[in-house]
Amino acid sequence: MQKPEPSTDLFSAAPLPVARLDDAQRLACLRLIRSENVGPVTFRALINHYGGATEALRALPELSNRARRGRPVTIYPEAKAAAELEAAAKAGVELIFTIEPGYPKSLAFTEGAPPLLYVKGRTELLTPPSIAVVGSRSASAGGLRLARTFSASFGQAGYAVCSGLARGIDAAAHETSLDTGTIAVLAGGLDIVYPPEHRDLQAAIAEKGCLVSEQALGFQPRAQDFPRRNRIISGIALAVVVIEAAKRSGTLITARLANEQGRDVFAVPGHPLDPRAEGTNQLLKDGALIATSAEDVLEVLARQHTAPPFRAFEDMASTVTPFGELPPATPQNAHPPIPAAPRADPTDVIQAVRTVLGPAPVSIDEVTRATGLPAREVQVAIMELALTGAVEMHGSQLVSVKPDA
């Protein structure tokens, strides 16, 4: 079986090659994700570097030892990973990894995309484009009506509606789009109901729509988990529509994340005296697109995206090969051989990278220039340091030393 060639950029935000996983590979991916200090960026880098989770797991002890010069990184036990997979199967929950067909293609292109999603319900809703409808938990009657009107129009136009299953605007959007396609992204495990009064709605979405979370079953959401959830809502969607948001609210976090991810952000203007309109009106001042009707959103998307939307993503994933194999080389994907260069001692590279890093985040390109070492070797050293917890990976390929490292 031909192994994939190592990626030229370990920290690329482009999605990993799409591949079907067998049971052993699925178990290895889960163990890798759950292992010490393996976050989304490091997971992507390890898969890029080694071509598979099984190979990465074998390499972890040596990698972490070299960077830490002491205790190796803790690898997640196989028995615990197997039990997690079994519990999910019994609950009717599917695990979809970044490298598998069915993972939302738009989300896969974002930095720090969750390596794994827990999904229950109609997983096919994650494939076509969706529009996020978000807003105030303490929504006005007019805001709720707008959420229903917008969501109904989006559904009729063929878009799934994505939101966070919160009170107010989120709930109205989900209820309206149950029959046309709705995606609810949760901050906790898919078996945890929050808020409690949405038990029936969550059950209905599990049957007729799609529930999504990056957290394992049984995980109780904390305050810091809701902003993390918001990046998935905006990452899945083609555009985000904000209907009522206070000046300081989680909804504005979703809007900011959507902007960072390159999504279209729309805001519905509100009355200047209504505190629930302060956030949306500020978004408009900051450059968000105005939406007084669903047609405003649909017209912009129609101009910017040729039918069918995400055609480029579909083309990239059209050839699905078994994990660990690559399609035969063609003039389009063949590369000329790169002459081998003498490699520096890995320990010396790690020390050189440590020396130039500080508490302020800098780009990996800047680290490479500062050390004068080959980019590939610098990236491997950063990956090894990340495994030991010595450095922190930020968005946009930024890295810094952890204050307590």
The CATH number linked to 137 is 3.40.50.450
| Shared-domain flag, residues 286 and 356 | no
pLDDT band at 316 (very low <50, low <70, confident <90, very high): very low
Judge whether 176 lies within some domain: yes
Q: What is the DSSP string of 310-351?
A: THHHHHHTSS-EETT--PPP-TTT--PPPPP-PPPPHHHHHH
Q: What is the pLDDT of residue 11?
A: 58
**β-bridge pairing 210-213 and 160-163:** unpaired
Of 251, 282, 309, the one marking the end of a domain is 309
Specify the amino acid at residue 173.
A
Judge whether 161 lies within some domain: yes
| Shared-domain flag, residues 255 and 193 | yes
- Dihedral angle of Cα 93, 98, 102, 105, to the nearest 10 degrees: 130
pLDDT band at 395 (very low <50, low <70, confident <90, very high): low
Residue 114: asked if its preceding bond is cis (omega within 30°), the reply is no
Judge whether 292 lies within some domain: yes
| Shared-domain flag, residues 362 and 248 | no
Question: Does residue 387 have a pLDDT over 70?
Answer: yes
- Catalogue the long-range contacts made by 56-61 (C-beta closer than 8 Å, 24 or more residues apart): 56/32, 57/28, 57/31, 57/32, 60/35, 60/387
State the CATH number of the domain containing residue 364.
1.10.10.10
| Rounded average pLDDT over 208-223 | 95
**Residues 53, 47 contacting (CB under 8 angstroms):** yes
Q: In angstroms, rounded to a whole number, what is the distance separating the alpha carbons of residues 334 and 216?
A: 40
Please tell me the total count of domains within the chain.
2
Judge whether 21 lies within some domain: no
> Which has more confidence, 61 or 204?
204
Judge whether 16 lies within some domain: no
Residue range of the domain that includes 374: 346-401
Can you tell me which residue has the tokens 């074998």?
Answer: 58
Question: Does residue 295 have a pLDDT over 90?
Answer: yes
- Listed residue (309, 326, 232) closest to 16, CA to CA: 326
Judge whether 15 lies within some domain: no
| Shared-domain flag, residues 234 and 352 | no
**Residues 188, 219 contacting (CB under 8 angstroms):** yes
Give how far the C-alpha of residue 362 lies from the chain's centroid of Cα atoms, to the nearest Å: 22
Judge whether 381 lies within some domain: yes
Supply the pTM of this predicted model. 0.79
Judge whether 96 lies within some domain: no
| Shared-domain flag, residues 235 and 366 | no
Can you tell me which residue has the tokens 């229950």?
Answer: 120
15-58 pLDDT, tens digit each:
555 678 889 999 999 999 999 888 888 888 888 888 889 999 99
Give how far the C-alpha of residue 372 lies from the chain's centroid of Cα atoms, to the nearest Å: 32
Q: Which of 69-73, 248-252, 383-387 has the highest mean pLDDT?
A: 248-252
Whole-number mean pLDDT of the chain?
A: 83
| Shared-domain flag, residues 257 and 357 | no
Q: In angstroms, rounded to a whole number, what is the distance separating the alpha carbons of residues 79 and 92?
A: 20
Residue 306's contacts (CB-CB under 8 Å, 6 or more residues apart) are none
Question: Which residue stretches of 261-363 are H helix?
Answer: 278-285, 294-304, 311-316, 346-356
| Shared-domain flag, residues 278 and 129 | yes
